[in-house]
Amino acid sequence: MKERAVLVTTLHRGVFFGYAKETKGKTIKLRSARCCIYWPASTKGFLGLASDGPLDGAKVGPAADIELRDITLVAECTPAAVAAWEKSPWAR
Amino acid sequence: MGALIQETLPSWTNGSGSGYGSGSGYGYGSGSGYGYGYGYGYGSGSGYGSGYGSGSGDGYGDGSGDGYGSGDGYGDGSYWRSCIKYFAARWLPMQRKRLAELKRAKAKIAYWRSDSEGRPANGGRADPVKPGDIQREKGPLQLCNKGTLHATLLPPKWKGERWWIVALKGEVVGDDDKYGALEREIIGECL
Protein backbone atom coordinates (compact mmCIF):
# COMPACT_ATOMS: atom_id res chain seq x y z
CA MET A 1 0.00 0.00 0.00
CA LYS A 2 1.33 3.40 -0.94
CA GLU A 3 2.36 5.72 1.84
CA ARG A 4 0.58 9.06 1.94
CA ALA A 5 1.17 12.32 3.78
CA VAL A 6 -1.81 12.97 6.03
CA LEU A 7 -3.10 15.27 8.72
CA VAL A 8 -4.74 13.34 11.57
CA THR A 9 -6.74 14.75 14.45
CA THR A 10 -7.71 12.94 17.63
CA LEU A 11 -10.21 13.28 20.40
CA HIS A 12 -7.43 14.41 22.69
CA ARG A 13 -6.60 17.71 21.04
CA GLY A 14 -4.00 16.11 18.85
CA VAL A 15 -3.27 17.54 15.41
CA PHE A 16 -0.60 15.47 13.71
CA PHE A 17 1.14 15.38 10.37
CA GLY A 18 2.88 12.24 9.21
CA TYR A 19 3.12 9.46 6.66
CA ALA A 20 0.72 6.52 6.73
CA LYS A 21 0.07 3.48 4.60
CA GLU A 22 -3.22 2.47 6.20
CA THR A 23 -5.70 5.16 7.16
CA LYS A 24 -9.05 3.39 7.42
CA GLY A 25 -8.80 1.74 10.81
CA LYS A 26 -9.39 2.86 14.38
CA THR A 27 -5.69 3.32 14.85
CA ILE A 28 -3.21 4.83 12.45
CA LYS A 29 0.53 4.36 12.43
CA LEU A 30 2.33 7.52 11.46
CA ARG A 31 5.93 7.59 10.41
CA SER A 32 7.87 10.75 11.16
CA ALA A 33 4.83 12.24 12.86
CA ARG A 34 4.86 15.82 13.99
CA CYS A 35 2.41 17.46 16.35
CA CYS A 36 1.19 20.96 15.71
CA ILE A 37 1.20 22.68 19.09
CA TYR A 38 -0.03 26.02 17.81
CA TRP A 39 -1.19 27.45 14.52
CA PRO A 40 -1.89 31.11 13.84
CA ALA A 41 -5.14 32.56 12.56
CA SER A 42 -3.58 32.96 9.13
CA THR A 43 -3.87 29.17 8.77
CA LYS A 44 -7.64 29.74 8.43
CA GLY A 45 -8.62 26.81 10.56
CA PHE A 46 -6.81 23.59 11.26
CA LEU A 47 -7.50 22.18 7.80
CA GLY A 48 -5.16 24.85 6.52
CA LEU A 49 -2.47 22.60 7.98
CA ALA A 50 -3.42 20.04 5.32
CA SER A 51 -3.62 22.51 2.46
CA ASP A 52 -0.75 24.87 3.27
CA GLY A 53 1.05 23.30 6.21
CA PRO A 54 2.34 25.27 9.20
CA LEU A 55 2.73 28.97 8.46
CA ASP A 56 4.92 31.56 10.14
CA GLY A 57 4.16 31.62 13.84
CA ALA A 58 3.16 27.97 14.05
CA LYS A 59 4.77 25.75 16.67
CA VAL A 60 5.56 22.20 15.68
CA GLY A 61 6.94 19.30 17.69
CA PRO A 62 9.79 17.05 16.58
CA ALA A 63 9.35 13.97 14.42
CA ALA A 64 8.57 10.59 15.97
CA ASP A 65 7.08 7.31 14.83
CA ILE A 66 3.80 6.77 16.64
CA GLU A 67 0.48 4.95 16.61
CA LEU A 68 -2.57 7.16 17.06
CA ARG A 69 -5.89 6.14 18.59
CA ASP A 70 -9.25 7.87 18.87
CA ILE A 71 -8.98 9.25 15.37
CA THR A 72 -11.49 11.92 14.42
CA LEU A 73 -10.30 13.04 11.02
CA VAL A 74 -7.77 12.12 8.39
CA ALA A 75 -7.02 14.50 5.53
CA GLU A 76 -4.54 14.09 2.73
CA CYS A 77 -1.93 16.82 2.57
CA THR A 78 -0.98 18.74 -0.52
CA PRO A 79 2.63 18.77 -1.73
CA ALA A 80 2.90 22.39 -0.56
CA ALA A 81 1.76 21.40 2.92
CA VAL A 82 4.23 18.51 3.04
CA ALA A 83 7.07 20.85 2.14
CA ALA A 84 6.02 23.32 4.83
CA TRP A 85 5.78 20.60 7.49
CA GLU A 86 9.16 19.18 6.58
CA LYS A 87 10.95 22.49 6.78
CA SER A 88 9.30 23.63 10.02
CA PRO A 89 11.76 23.53 12.90
CA TRP A 90 10.79 22.11 16.26
CA ALA A 91 9.45 25.02 18.26
CA ARG A 92 8.12 25.24 21.80
CA MET B 1 -6.09 20.31 0.94
CA GLY B 2 -6.42 16.80 -0.40
CA ALA B 3 -9.38 14.55 0.10
CA LEU B 4 -10.81 13.95 3.55
CA ILE B 5 -10.26 10.29 4.28
CA GLN B 6 -12.13 10.17 7.56
CA GLU B 7 -14.21 12.97 8.89
CA THR B 8 -15.80 13.17 12.29
CA LEU B 9 -14.82 16.50 13.68
CA PRO B 10 -13.75 16.38 17.32
CA SER B 11 -15.81 18.41 19.68
CA TRP B 12 -12.89 20.65 20.51
CA THR B 13 -12.85 21.91 16.93
CA ASN B 14 -16.19 23.52 17.59
CA GLY B 15 -15.97 26.90 19.13
CA SER B 16 -12.66 27.86 17.77
CA GLY B 17 -11.83 31.28 16.61
CA SER B 18 -13.60 33.98 18.41
CA GLY B 19 -17.07 34.19 19.71
CA TYR B 20 -18.82 36.89 21.51
CA GLY B 21 -22.19 37.70 22.81
CA SER B 22 -24.01 40.39 24.55
CA GLY B 23 -27.21 40.81 26.38
CA SER B 24 -29.34 43.51 27.74
CA GLY B 25 -32.54 43.86 29.61
CA TYR B 26 -35.01 46.57 30.18
CA GLY B 27 -38.18 47.31 32.03
CA TYR B 28 -39.27 48.43 35.41
CA GLY B 29 -38.74 47.10 38.83
CA SER B 30 -36.30 44.42 39.53
CA GLY B 31 -35.53 41.18 37.90
CA SER B 32 -32.84 39.65 35.85
CA GLY B 33 -32.18 38.93 32.28
CA TYR B 34 -29.70 36.91 30.47
CA GLY B 35 -28.02 36.58 27.15
CA TYR B 36 -25.70 34.21 25.52
CA GLY B 37 -23.30 33.97 22.69
CA TYR B 38 -21.37 31.31 21.03
CA GLY B 39 -18.63 30.71 18.54
CA TYR B 40 -18.17 27.88 16.17
CA GLY B 41 -15.91 26.78 13.41
CA TYR B 42 -13.01 24.57 12.74
CA GLY B 43 -9.70 24.62 14.47
CA SER B 44 -9.04 24.42 18.06
CA GLY B 45 -8.85 27.30 20.41
CA SER B 46 -11.93 28.58 22.00
CA GLY B 47 -14.79 30.78 21.16
CA TYR B 48 -17.23 31.95 23.70
CA GLY B 49 -19.61 34.63 24.43
CA SER B 50 -21.65 35.78 27.28
CA GLY B 51 -24.23 38.32 27.95
CA TYR B 52 -26.58 39.44 30.58
CA GLY B 53 -29.39 41.74 30.96
CA SER B 54 -30.90 43.50 33.83
CA GLY B 55 -34.18 45.13 34.45
CA SER B 56 -37.56 43.65 34.64
CA GLY B 57 -37.63 40.20 33.56
CA ASP B 58 -36.11 39.83 30.19
CA GLY B 59 -32.80 40.25 28.69
CA TYR B 60 -31.31 38.71 25.63
CA GLY B 61 -28.11 38.29 23.86
CA ASP B 62 -26.63 36.75 20.83
CA GLY B 63 -23.25 35.94 19.60
CA SER B 64 -21.35 34.80 16.63
CA GLY B 65 -18.00 33.38 15.85
CA ASP B 66 -15.90 32.15 13.02
CA GLY B 67 -13.64 29.26 12.38
CA TYR B 68 -10.55 31.10 11.42
CA GLY B 69 -8.98 31.79 14.75
CA SER B 70 -5.70 30.44 15.92
CA GLY B 71 -5.57 27.06 17.54
CA ASP B 72 -3.51 24.79 19.64
CA GLY B 73 -3.22 21.16 20.51
CA TYR B 74 -1.49 19.02 23.06
CA GLY B 75 -0.86 15.89 21.11
CA ASP B 76 -0.82 12.91 23.36
CA GLY B 77 1.46 11.29 25.83
CA SER B 78 2.64 8.55 23.51
CA TYR B 79 3.81 11.13 20.97
CA TRP B 80 5.77 13.14 23.50
CA ARG B 81 7.18 9.95 25.02
CA SER B 82 8.40 9.01 21.55
CA CYS B 83 10.03 12.43 21.15
CA ILE B 84 12.32 11.92 24.14
CA LYS B 85 14.86 10.07 22.03
CA TYR B 86 14.84 12.94 19.53
CA PHE B 87 15.89 15.35 22.27
CA ALA B 88 18.31 12.90 23.84
CA ALA B 89 20.12 12.54 20.52
CA ARG B 90 21.32 16.13 21.00
CA TRP B 91 22.73 15.60 24.46
CA LEU B 92 26.18 14.70 25.69
CA PRO B 93 26.93 10.97 25.86
CA MET B 94 26.90 11.08 29.66
CA GLN B 95 23.36 12.47 29.62
CA ARG B 96 22.17 9.73 27.29
CA LYS B 97 23.84 7.18 29.50
CA ARG B 98 22.06 8.59 32.54
CA LEU B 99 18.72 8.50 30.71
CA ALA B 100 19.27 4.82 29.94
CA GLU B 101 20.17 4.12 33.56
CA LEU B 102 17.07 5.85 34.85
CA LYS B 103 14.86 3.98 32.39
CA ARG B 104 16.34 0.69 33.58
CA ALA B 105 15.67 1.78 37.15
CA LYS B 106 11.98 2.21 36.18
CA ALA B 107 12.00 5.95 36.81
CA LYS B 108 9.16 7.86 35.17
CA ILE B 109 10.71 9.80 32.29
CA ALA B 110 8.72 12.88 31.43
CA TYR B 111 8.89 16.60 30.74
CA TRP B 112 9.08 19.61 33.00
CA ARG B 113 8.86 23.24 31.92
CA SER B 114 10.71 26.11 33.53
CA ASP B 115 11.07 29.82 33.00
CA SER B 116 14.00 31.21 31.04
CA GLU B 117 16.27 30.90 34.07
CA GLY B 118 15.37 27.31 34.81
CA ARG B 119 13.04 28.09 37.71
CA PRO B 120 9.52 26.70 38.08
CA ALA B 121 7.03 28.28 35.70
CA ASN B 122 3.86 26.62 36.93
CA GLY B 123 3.92 27.43 40.59
CA GLY B 124 6.43 26.88 43.32
CA ARG B 125 9.88 28.24 43.98
CA ALA B 126 13.22 26.64 43.37
CA ASP B 127 16.74 27.43 42.31
CA PRO B 128 17.52 27.36 38.59
CA VAL B 129 18.16 23.84 37.35
CA LYS B 130 20.82 22.30 35.15
CA PRO B 131 21.34 18.75 33.89
CA GLY B 132 22.27 16.41 36.70
CA ASP B 133 20.43 18.32 39.40
CA ILE B 134 18.34 16.27 41.79
CA GLN B 135 15.45 17.95 43.55
CA ARG B 136 13.73 16.54 46.60
CA GLU B 137 10.59 17.46 48.49
CA LYS B 138 9.29 16.22 51.80
CA GLY B 139 5.73 15.70 50.68
CA PRO B 140 3.01 14.90 51.18
CA LEU B 141 2.93 13.22 47.78
CA GLN B 142 -0.12 14.81 46.28
CA LEU B 143 -0.65 16.39 42.87
CA CYS B 144 -0.74 20.19 42.87
CA ASN B 145 0.64 20.13 46.39
CA LYS B 146 3.49 22.36 47.44
CA GLY B 147 5.49 19.42 48.74
CA THR B 148 5.36 17.46 45.48
CA LEU B 149 7.56 17.69 42.39
CA HIS B 150 5.81 17.45 39.06
CA ALA B 151 6.33 16.40 35.45
CA THR B 152 4.13 15.75 32.43
CA LEU B 153 3.88 13.88 29.17
CA LEU B 154 1.72 16.64 27.73
CA PRO B 155 4.18 19.53 27.89
CA PRO B 156 2.21 21.91 25.62
CA LYS B 157 -0.46 22.08 28.31
CA TRP B 158 1.87 23.85 30.69
CA LYS B 159 3.67 27.16 30.79
CA GLY B 160 7.38 27.69 30.62
CA GLU B 161 9.95 28.92 28.18
CA ARG B 162 12.35 25.99 28.57
CA TRP B 163 11.52 22.30 28.34
CA TRP B 164 13.44 19.64 30.22
CA ILE B 165 13.47 15.86 30.25
CA VAL B 166 13.33 14.71 33.85
CA ALA B 167 13.08 11.50 35.82
CA LEU B 168 10.64 11.12 38.68
CA LYS B 169 11.95 8.57 41.15
CA GLY B 170 10.34 6.56 43.89
CA GLU B 171 6.57 6.48 44.14
CA VAL B 172 4.93 8.35 41.28
CA VAL B 173 1.30 9.44 41.21
CA GLY B 174 -0.83 10.93 38.44
CA ASP B 175 -1.22 10.43 34.71
CA ASP B 176 0.21 11.75 31.44
CA ASP B 177 -1.26 15.16 32.15
CA LYS B 178 0.56 15.54 35.45
CA TYR B 179 2.79 13.25 37.45
CA GLY B 180 4.00 13.84 40.96
CA ALA B 181 6.88 12.44 43.02
CA LEU B 182 9.14 13.45 45.85
CA GLU B 183 12.36 13.24 43.85
CA ARG B 184 13.05 14.66 40.40
CA GLU B 185 16.28 14.46 38.45
CA ILE B 186 16.95 16.87 35.62
CA ILE B 187 18.46 14.85 32.77
CA GLY B 188 18.67 17.32 29.91
CA GLU B 189 17.05 20.18 28.10
CA CYS B 190 14.90 19.92 24.98
CA LEU B 191 16.92 21.88 22.46
DSSP SS3 for B89: coil
pLDDT at B68: 61
Interface test with A, best of B76, B85, B87 (most A CBs within 10 A): B76
CA–CA gap between residue A34 and residue A82 (Å, rounded): 11
The per-residue DSSP string of B131-156 comes to TT-EEE------TT-TT-EEEBS-GG
pLDDT at A59: 95
Count of domains observed in chain A: 1
Chain B from 149 to 178: CB within 8 A of any A CB: 156, 161-163
CB atoms within 10 A of CB B1: 15
ipTM of predicted assembly, 2 dp: 0.91
Q: Does residue A92 sit within a domain?
A: no
Does pLDDT of A15 surpass 60? Answer: yes
| CATH code assigned at A45 | 2.30.30.100
Q: Does residue A49 sit within a domain?
A: yes
Q: Give the domain range for residue A28.
A: 4-87
Mean of pLDDT over chain B = 77
CA–CA gap between residue A92 and residue B11 (Å, rounded): 25
Interface test with A, best of B72, B79, B114, B116 (most A CBs within 10 A): B79
CB of B37 closer than 8 Å to CB of B19? yes
Q: Does residue A55 sit within a domain?
A: yes
> Which sequence spans correspond to the domains of chain B?
11-65, 77-189
Summarize pLDDT for A66-92 with one digit per residue, the tens.
Answer: 999 999 999 999 999 999 999 998 888
Does pLDDT of B189 surpass 60? Answer: yes
Q: Does residue A67 sit within a domain?
A: yes
Summarize pLDDT for B36-76 with one digit per residue, the tens.
Answer: 333 333 333 444 444 444 443 444 444 444 456 788 887 78
Summarize pLDDT for A47-73 with one digit per residue, the tens.
Answer: 999 999 999 999 999 999 999 999 999
CA distance A1 to chain B (A): 15
* pTM for the model: 0.76
pLDDT at B11: 53
Does pLDDT of B19 surpass 80? Answer: no
CA–CA gap between residue A71 and residue B190 (Å, rounded): 28
Q: Does residue A78 sit within a domain?
A: yes
Angle, CA of B141, B154 and B98, to the nearest 5°: 70
